[in-house]
Amino acid sequence: MALNLLMLGPPGAGKGTQAERVSRARQTPRISTGDILREAVHAGTEIGRRAKAIMHRGELVGDDVMIGIVQERLERGDASNGFVLEGFPRTVAQASALDRIMTERDPLIVVDIVVPEAELVRRLGTRLICSQCGTNAPIAVSAEVACAKCGGRLVQRADDNQAVVLERLKVYHQMSEPLVEYYRVRPTFRSIDGAQTPDRVAADLVAAIEAAGNGAVRHGARG
């Protein structure tokens, strides 16, 4: 059975770090809509210019744009045998669209990373991003350290100042938390504690994936 993994959680929960670890371990492509959008912003494309103003206000890019980006990415050959998806869906409408995209695929395993809001604010207020390629630096990395991907200088993200952080979390609670309720009833849904060390979270994630996969087999789940 292919690993089709969807990672949920608020900004700062560590989805990107954990998605990268699973992607490397399972040799499965990591698909991050956040990275796709930031690359477009950095490149100055039309969609990048549209997304830039929205992202800097702490708001979310519209469903139609995000659904199109994800569908195109999942149709590429490297995702035919599984993927690790993070940053999408962010609304129930996007989740419904993803279900349609997944109709003929193996079950979607959904893992929600839970972190207290106070810890999220602390993490986001100190998070850094590469000024050259736009890649997020791991949490707690110093600004003196160069980007691991391209060697560029690390700076604070424009959308990580305190006012915007609080707005982003507010938007998440209003729009994205219903996703947990949307997926919770599925045998392939699991929730893990993201306020632990990255290694502990990674171990819990592996266990959750295995348990969810067994649940899918028992229930004959698809999509």
Domain extent listing, the chain? 3-115+176-219
| Residue 214, helix vs strand vs coil | helix
pTM (predicted TM-score): 0.77
**Of 30, 90, 186, 190, catalytic:** 90
Active site residue 168: yes
pLDDT number for residue 174: 85
**Of 21, 73, 157, 190, catalytic:** 157
pLDDT number for residue 180: 92
Mean pLDDT, 10 residues at a time, the chain of 223 residues: 92 90 94 78 77 79 81 87 92 94 93 92 82 76 79 78 82 86 95 95 96 76 57
Beta strands in the chain (DSSP E): 3-8, 30-32, 82-86, 108-114, 128-130, 154-156, 189-193
**Of 21, 38, 123, 168, catalytic:** 168
Active site residue 127: yes
pLDDT number for residue 144: 72
pLDDT number for residue 160: 61
Tell me the two tokens of residue 174: 């209003």
CB atoms closer than 10 angstroms to residue 162: 10
pLDDT number for residue 29: 94
Q: Which CATH number fits domain 3-115+176-219: 3.40.50.2000, 3.20.20.80, 3.30.930.10, 3.40.50.300?
A: 3.40.50.300
pLDDT number for residue 142: 66
Q: Which residue has the tokens 């869906």?
A: 89
Half-sphere exposure of 42 (CA within 13 A, CB side): 14
Cα dihedral 178, 196, 110, 41 sign = positive
Active site residue 15: yes
Active site residue 157: yes
pLDDT number for residue 43: 77
CA nearest to 168, candidates 66, 51, 34, 56: 56
Q: Are 95 and 182 in contact (CB under 8 A)?
A: yes
Active site residue 149: no
**Of 21, 30, 123, 127, catalytic:** 127
**Of 15, 21, 38, 190, catalytic:** 15
